[in-house]
């Protein structure tokens, strides 16, 4: 467990008989022009004048939020913040500066060190007569809750199954920058060795273990190597997976079985040896990568959808067992991303007769950030991004309508708009040669194709 930052804001809402009569330093701005004008307007309207303490709190919180906003914009120049901050730099309250003196605490907020705004807040004993102050405090908390230590995974031992490309490679590089000790597993040994060298350059340590996750003996050797090299396993991430695209009966039955061996059997193998080690240690985090397709079924990905449904059920069942046995220090997190632009589509078996194609792809960095965050602050179920969250919510509210919409879109994108392509077994049986990229480049190809279509239409009009 990582240390927490406790922010205790002692706010004085109304003066009482128990409070000190000595004015608070934080209220020194109550005689400012805005405060005086507010009292004058209330007097002219025949209303009770606002309390100086309320005015002081409004001014103080407003200034603090404005300062936080400015610093957040300076620190997060990109739309999706990926670097780590110190909470102490975001808000004066984070490093002990009192907001308002008082004899009894009105509000207590606990902000855990976590990545990408992973935090828990508890607000208690707030007087219902001050909703504006409550909203301002919650906004301030949201601004300051993004902070985590830049070395949150320092010296953690992390096993990554499926590290040669895509999410696995991206997560390995991020964790290496935080000083983690990595055990990299995949079938492509040469790419793993190149990745290990990159991780060493970023400040991490890395060991390569060539592994086919569908082989139980190889996964057992992976776990044993991790313990032999580093003495323990803190985090185990199962993200090795393949796909098979096409009508269900047109995909060879052997390919369906092979996909399930990798996507389900491989995760079961990894989870089995990870949990055995965690129980010996008394702690550990298991992260399994599922998909939004495991919650909202997509046509033409039938066995892949079935495998992701299985992972969601596996994680939920294991979490129940851990709860019933009181093993609070062992955590299982199932992460469900939306379709992302990784080499997955190039590696998938394809019997559709068309080139693998998908629209509205998320950048892989969004999912990578969520996985890295889960190593610090795991949650049982994580849907990554607004598209995944909206899809799952829509499926719960209007199941049939959502399935019809998803099905129609996927049919048009794959079976009507995609270019013809030969059948292939992809990476089901043998690894696909490649450079081990994180980004698949599909968004760029789709944008170029759309541009060519527009140019063709313009040429026809002329």
- Which positions are annotated as active-site residues? 304
DSSP 93: G
Tokens of 360: 């509205």
- Non-local (6+) Cβ contacts of 293 within 8 A are 301, 304, 305, 308
259-262: long-range pairs with CB below 8 Å, 24+: 259/303, 259/304, 259/307, 259/349, 259/428, 260/303, 260/306, 260/307, 261/214, 262/213, 262/214, 262/428
Burial of 335 (0-12, 13-18, 19+ CB in 10 A): buried
Under 8 Å between Cβ of 287 and 378? yes
Give the single-character DSSP code of 233: -
Provide the pairing of β-strand 4-9 with 107-112. Answer: antiparallel
Distances in Å between the Cα of 333 and the Cα atoms of 78, 163, 374, 382, 451 are 27, 18, 7, 7, 40
Half-sphere exposure in the Cβ direction for 278 (13 Å, CA): 24
- Residue 379 exposure: Cα atoms within 13 Å on the Cβ side: 16
Please answer whether residues 121 and 109 qualify as being in contact, where contact means their C-beta atoms are separated by less than 8 angstroms. Answer: yes
The CA distance from 62 to 78, in Å, is: 25
Give the number of other CB atoms < 10 A from CB of residue 417: 14
Smallest CA-to-CA distance from 184 within 162, 202, 154, 213 is with 162
Residues 316/317/321/323 CA torsion (nearest 10 deg): 20
Contact 428, 258 (CB under 8 A): yes
For residue 383, count other CB atoms closer than 10 A to its CB.
21
| Residue 251 CA to its chain's centroid (Å) | 33
């Amino acid at each position: 467990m990582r240390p927490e930052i406790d922010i205790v804001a002692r706010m004085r809402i109304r003066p009482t008989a128990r409070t000190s009569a000595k004015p608070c330093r934080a209220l020194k701005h109550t005689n400012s022009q805005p405060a005086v004008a507010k009292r004058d307007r209330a007097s002219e309207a025949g209303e009770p004048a606002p309390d100086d303490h309320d005015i002081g709190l409004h001014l103080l919180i407003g200034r603090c939020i404005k300062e936080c906003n400015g610093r957040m914009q300076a620190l997060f120049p990109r739309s999706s913040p990926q670097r780590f901050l110190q909470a102490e730099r975001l808000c004066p309250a984070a490093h002990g500066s009192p907001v308002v003196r008082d004899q009894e605490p009105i509000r207590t907020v606990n902000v855990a060190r976590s990545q990408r705004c992973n935090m828990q807040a508890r607000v208690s004993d707030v007087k219902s007569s001050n909703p504006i102050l409550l909203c301002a405090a919650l906004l301030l908390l949201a601004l300051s809750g993004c902070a985590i230590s830049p070395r949150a995974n320092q010296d953690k031992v992390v096993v990554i199954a499926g590290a040669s490309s895509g999410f696995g490679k991206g997560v390995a590089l991020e964790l290496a920058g935080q000083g983690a000790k990595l055990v990299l597993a995949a079938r492509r040994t040469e790419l793993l060795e190149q990745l290990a060298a990159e991780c060493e350059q970023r400040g991490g340590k890395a060991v390569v273990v060539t592994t086919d996750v569908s082989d139980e003996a190889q996964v057992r050797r992976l776990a044993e190597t991790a313990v032999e090299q580093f003495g323990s396993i803190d985090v185990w991430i199962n993200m090795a997976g393949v796909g098979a695209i096409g009508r269900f009966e047109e995909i060879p039955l052997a390919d369906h079985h092979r996909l399930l061996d990798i996507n389900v059997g491989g995760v079961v193998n990894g989870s089995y040896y990870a949990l055995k080690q965690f129980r010996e240690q008394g702690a550990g985090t298991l992260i399994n990568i599922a998909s939004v397709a495991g919650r909202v079924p997509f046509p033409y990905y039938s066995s892949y959808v079935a495998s992701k449904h299985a992972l969601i059920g596996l994680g939920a069942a294991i979490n129940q067992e851990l709860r019933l046995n009181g093993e609070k220090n062992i955590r299982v997190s199932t992460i469900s991303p939306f379709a992302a632009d990784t080499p997955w589509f190039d590696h998938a078996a394809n019997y559709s007769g068309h080139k693998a194609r998908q629209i509205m792809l998320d950048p892989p960095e969004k999912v990578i950030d969520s996985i890295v965050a889960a190593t610090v602050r795991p949650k049982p179920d994580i849907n990554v991004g607004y598209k995944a969250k909206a899809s799952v919510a829509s499926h719960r509210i209007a199941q049939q309508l959502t399935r019809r919409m998803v099905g129609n879109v996927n049919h048009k994108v794959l079976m009507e708009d995609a270019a013809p392509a030969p059948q292939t077994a992809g990476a089901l049986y043998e690894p696909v040669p490649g450079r081990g990229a994180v980004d698949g480049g599909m968004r760029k190809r789709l944008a170029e194709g759309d541009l060519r279509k527009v140019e063709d239409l313009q040429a026809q009009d002329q």
